[in-house]
Amino acid sequence: MDLNAEVDQLVRQSQTWVPLIMEYGSRLLLALLTLAIGWWIINKLSARLGKLVGLRADAALQGFISTLANIVLKVLLMVSVASMIGIETTSFVAAIGAAGLAIGLALQGSLANFAGGVLILMFRPFRIGDWIEAQGVSGTVDSIQIFHTVLRTGDNKTVIMPNGSLSNGIITNTNRQPTRKVVFDVGVDYDADLQKARNVLLELAQDPRVLQDPAPQAVISTLGDSSITVSLRIWTKTADYWDVMFMLNEHARDRLKAEGIDIPFPQRVIRVVQETVA
């Protein structure tokens, strides 16, 4: 009799347990299936996104964007799976939002540098190896990181520039174009033969590193206080710019002097007026 009562009690309890097990078991199974499939899809999507970003951006940005998208999507997936099981996710989402806001406020400067780094890596106003002038600093770009850019100056100093200020300022890239214009000015005496001075400079422009299209020009640019400025305007390949400029500085004086053309020193005429006392 007692055994039958226990059996009846177990049957009545099972009528309560079985629906609960079926309901939550099916939810758990569906959640696990969703988690597995979603995890696989997110990995595929983040890898695909990394390849798309890599078509236009640096490898550093490619890896960062891919990882960031992977983490964000997986967090959203975990929240969705928890909601499917029946876990209350409202407070969890609110906590994530509050934490994100606090982190954003604490890292305003770093986030600005990060955004600047993304813009630089995406739009590429300069590349590694370019000589740029920005924020009062000139140098060769050694590396472009997410938060900062490393420059090497002409005297071999390393300058680390935050990407936030770099991306929001004026950047002069001297290597972006294949050719550069050289403007070489030299002052000659007012008594000098200007046509001869122009011919001397044009002869210097016959250097093989000087491009002949556009053709070199030698013009009279200014009439100064103590000299007339003759300006040689030529085009060279960007890589030859400084070599040509140094060549002109080295040979112009001697060639002009050999033709009897003087380069005068700055002069100032001072008149002294003496007043006579009656």
Distance CA 220, CA 194 (A): 8
Same structural domain, 165 and 218: no
The token pair that represents 135 in the structure block: 């924020």
Is the entire prediction scored with pTM above 0.85? no
Tally of domains in the chain: 3
148 has which bridge partners?
162
pLDDT (tens digit per residue) in 128-170: 889 999 988 999 999 888 788 999 998 999 999 998 888 888 9
Q: Give the domain extent around 218.
A: 179-259
Residue 249 has what pLDDT? Answer: 92
Residue 153 has what pLDDT? Answer: 92
162: domain CATH number is 2.30.30.60
Same structural domain, 72 and 31: yes
Same structural domain, 8 and 50: yes
Average pLDDT for 39-46: 85
What number of other Cβ atoms are within 10 A of residue 269's Cβ?
A: 6
The last residue of one of the domains, among 53, 87, 121, is 87
Compute the Cα dihedral for 232, 236, 242, 243 and give only its sign: negative
Would 108 be classed as within a structural domain? no
Across 114-209, the runs of DSSP E, i.e. the strands, are: 131-134, 137-144, 148-152, 158-162, 171-173, 179-188
Would 112 be classed as within a structural domain? no
What number of other Cβ atoms are within 10 A of residue 235's Cβ?
A: 18
Same structural domain, 142 and 212: no
The last residue of one of the domains, among 173, 199, 230, is 173
Would 278 be classed as within a structural domain? no
Same structural domain, 194 and 246: yes
Exposure letters 111-126 (e unless 16+ CB within 10 A, then b): ebbbebbbbbbeeeeb
Would 98 be classed as within a structural domain? no
How far is the CA of 249 from the CAs of 23, 217, 252, 255, in angstroms?
89, 17, 6, 11
235: domain CATH number is 3.30.70.100
Same structural domain, 201 and 254: yes
Same structural domain, 195 and 156: no
Would 273 be classed as within a structural domain? no
Would 94 be classed as within a structural domain? no
Same structural domain, 191 and 161: no
Would 138 be classed as within a structural domain? yes
pLDDT (tens digit per residue) in 47-97: 787 777 665 555 556 666 777 778 778 888 888 877 777 676 676 667 667
Would 125 be classed as within a structural domain? no
Amino acid in the structure at residue 212 = Q
